[in-house]
Amino acid sequence: MSRYDAVFIHAPSVYDFRKKPIFYGPVSDVIPSSPVFEMYPIGFMTLSAHLQHAGFRTKIINLAVRMLMSEKYDVEKVIRKTDADVFFIDLHWMPHAHGALEIAKIIKKYHPDSKIELGGFTSSYFWEELIQRPEVDFVMRGDSTEVPTVKLMQILECGGDLSEVPNLIWKDNDGRVRNNEVSYVPDTLDDVMFDYGTLIKSVMKTMDVKSALPWSGWDKDPLTMALSVRGCSLNCAECGGSHFANDIVVCRKKPAFRSPEKLAEDLESIQSYMKSPVFVVGDIRQPGTKYAETFLKSVKERGIDNHVVLELFNSAGKDFFESVDKAFGGGYTIEFSPDSHDESVRGPLGKGYSNKEIESTIKNAFDGGCMRMDLFYMTGLPFQTRESAIDSARASKHLWSLVEKDDPLFIYNSPFSPFVDPGSKAFENPEKWGYTFFARTLEEHRKLLDSPSWKLTLSYQTDLMSRDDIAETSYDAANVLTRSEFEAGRISESRMNNRIERTETARSIMHEVDKIMTIKNEEERESQLWGIKEKGMVMMNSTIAEKDDLVWKSGSVWFNAPRMLRGLLFPMKRS
């Protein structure tokens, strides 16, 4: 039996999805992971690094990835053979409400004396519900829990008082719930270890590369991450990571930034191990223009030639893009999420820029050397009608006309699903934002995830669109977007027809599920759902969009083996 101090477990969205007749639909068409949501949070890396530096032996097991890779992967056997003092399970975003809790039960079944801790945004929000569950020993609240986690492990190893661990919810020997309150909320990220070297060494020790993969396919086209901020200064109504939500969920009153020099150092460290794109999480302009200027100057001095992916939270001028282009020798990509082309929808959400500013940003980006831009719209937003959602897809044709046909401007239109984020303004005050919810508690969300269709998983409808409307409009908008892309001369007629055919196939499967769900006999209903499972699995990854468009072709992780070895033998000196 493998023995560790701490094992980090990432569960699939639904356990066991391989043994359930589920049709996922387009819920993950615009993110790297599949509908199983197999991408674990970057906190796994930072928590593991801090624990290893404190002398603890750790391992990451991405069960979701392993289950996707093999029908024969035996989860219970792996858990039974993996022993640890503490199993850490992320329940960060709501789509893991089913899988995370089911995995916790399995761990407790085989390791009744081990402790199980859940952490992340969703855990922090629903901590009162979570700690009542017999399989949960600890809930760690907050968004920066590296120091409290080390403290917890030290007390468990050497003895001490758990009431001294900040942010911890726990049960005493009498089973009473103890709440230590969220008192550790650092105002800077400079003390957090973003160390890919530690992760690489850990994987080499365990000789289990597959379990450490951040998501399925990462080994073929790796994408790394650097974190500029925890928290946010913006207040987008539907976002669980907004300033409003951070205050409610993790008691963060203001964003905590990584200093621009440290952030540049993180990129240099990543480059010393891997020649892969780096996604910088957070708009580098959020702390102010001085921050962005210092960061760009520092990366230029360090000679960063990995391709870099940057987020925009607002419009940007040509000078900004030209500065970015000069800073990064390997070029850059821009990620921009206006959510809607309808200003009457986008404005109230908290995105105050105009359509003209969106248009100028796109032109400025490609004039300023941008190598690719991804722009995202959604269906199911507050104050959004069916026509408004489809108009966003129609407007894309005009946006494509602003740039050259070979300029890689990718526009996506997907359902806002499956849940409205707990802690967001919309979740906390649904009447104001026109929402009606089918789930409010963690348990209600968990049950929705076990539905056979993505439409039935939706936790909401709006005053202007029912659950059925949101699903149908999502498919309609996808087809309009596809035709607009063809009319703009960006895809061939055959590719347009193939994508529309796939979208219509997905829609027909959704309708089949609706019809089957009217069958009263449970055994017959289940049998018929299994009868269409294979058709649904074919549509699993690319339903209304081209999943491959989201991939930065960087070459297999194994091409980086010599670079990784050099990085480990001659580690970069960090300040």
**pLDDT tens over the chain, length 575 residues:** 568 999 999 999 999 998 988 888 777 666 667 788 889 999 999 999 999 999 999 999 999 999 999 999 999 999 999 999 999 999 999 999 999 999 999 999 999 999 999 999 999 999 999 999 999 999 999 999 999 999 999 999 999 999 999 999 999 989 999 999 999 999 999 999 988 887 787 777 777 888 988 888 888 888 899 999 999 999 999 999 999 999 999 999 999 999 999 999 999 999 999 899 999 999 999 999 999 999 999 999 999 999 999 999 999 999 999 999 999 999 999 999 999 999 999 999 999 999 999 999 999 999 999 999 999 999 999 999 999 999 999 999 999 999 999 999 999 998 987 899 999 999 999 999 999 999 999 999 999 999 999 999 999 999 999 999 999 999 999 999 999 999 999 999 999 999 999 999 999 999 999 999 999 999 999 999 998 887 777 766 656 666 566 667 777 777 777 787 777 667 777 77
Taking the model in full, what pTM does it have?
Answer: 0.94
Choosing from 179, 204, 232, the residue where a domain stops is: 179
Give bridge partners of residue 333 from the DSSP assignment. Answer: 309, 372
Name the residue range of residue 125's domain.
2-179
The DSSP bridge pattern shows strands 278-281 and 224-227 to be: parallel
Neighbours of 275 (CB within 10 A): 16
Indicate whether 125 and 54 sit together in one domain. yes
Residue 212 in any domain: the answer is no
> What's the number of domains the chain is made of?
2
In this structure, are 118 and 258 located in the same domain? no
* CATH code of the domain covering residue 388: 3.20.20.70
Same domain (yes/no): 331, 420: yes
271 domain-assigned: yes
358 inside domain: yes
171 touches 115 (CB < 8 A): no
173 and 232 together in one domain: no
If asked whether residues 36 and 103 sit together in one domain, one would say yes
Q: What digits encode the pLDDT tens for the residues 329-346?
A: 999 999 999 999 999 999
Does residue 265 form part of some domain? yes
170, 227: one domain: no
Count CB neighbours of 408 within 10 A: 15
Residues 167 and 234 in one domain: no
Angle (CA) 225 231 233, round 5°:
115
- Note whether residue 453 is domain-resident: no
CATH (domain of 175):
3.40.50.2300
Q: Determine, yes or no, domain membership for 8.
A: yes
Residues contacting 167, CB < 8 A, separation 6+: 140, 141, 142, 145, 148, 180, 181, 182, 183, 184
Q: Which residues contact 352 (CB under 8 A, 6 or more apart)?
A: 314
pLDDT value of residue 557 = 75
How far apart (Å, rounded) are the C-alpha atoms in residues 41 and 89?
11
In angstroms, how far is CA 328 from the centroid of its own chain? 25
Query: Does a structural domain hold residue 559?
Result: no
CA distance 304 to 495: 36
Q: How far apart are CA 161 and CA 311, in angstroms?
A: 42
Does residue 217 fall inside a structural domain? no
* pLDDT reported for residue 34: 77
Listed residue (402, 309, 308) closest to 363, CA to CA:
402
Q: Are residues 174 and 265 located together in one domain of the fold?
A: no
Reported as a single tens digit per residue, the pLDDT across 127-168 is 999 999 999 999 999 999 999 999 999 999 999 999 999 999
Are 84 and 165 in a shared domain? yes
Distance CA 12, CA 64 (A): 4
Tell me what pLDDT residue 200 has: 80
Q: Tell me which of 179, 196, 211 is where a domain ends.
A: 179
Q: Are residues 149 and 244 in the same domain?
A: no
pLDDT for res 570: 73
In Å, how far are 5, 53, 102, 418 from 49, measured between CA atoms?
Answer: 13, 6, 27, 32
Same-domain check for residues 171 and 275: no
- DSSP summary character for residue 233: S
φ/ψ of 115, rounded to 5, equals -95, 145
Is residue 16 domain-shared with residue 114, that is, in the same domain? yes
Q: What residue has token string 């105002």?
A: 187
Q: How far is 210 from 509, CA to CA, in rounded Å?
A: 32
Which among 434, 457, 491 is the end of a domain?
A: 434
The full 3-state SS of 504-571, as one line of letters, equals HHHHHHHHHHHHHCCCCCHHHHHHHHHHCHHHHHHCCCCCCCCHHHHCCCCCCHHHHHHHHHHHHHCC
The CA–CA distances, whole Å, from 97 to 102, 144, 253, 428, 530 equal: 9, 21, 26, 19, 23
Radius of gyration of the chain (CA): 23
Question: In the prediction, which pLDDT does 78 show?
Answer: 97
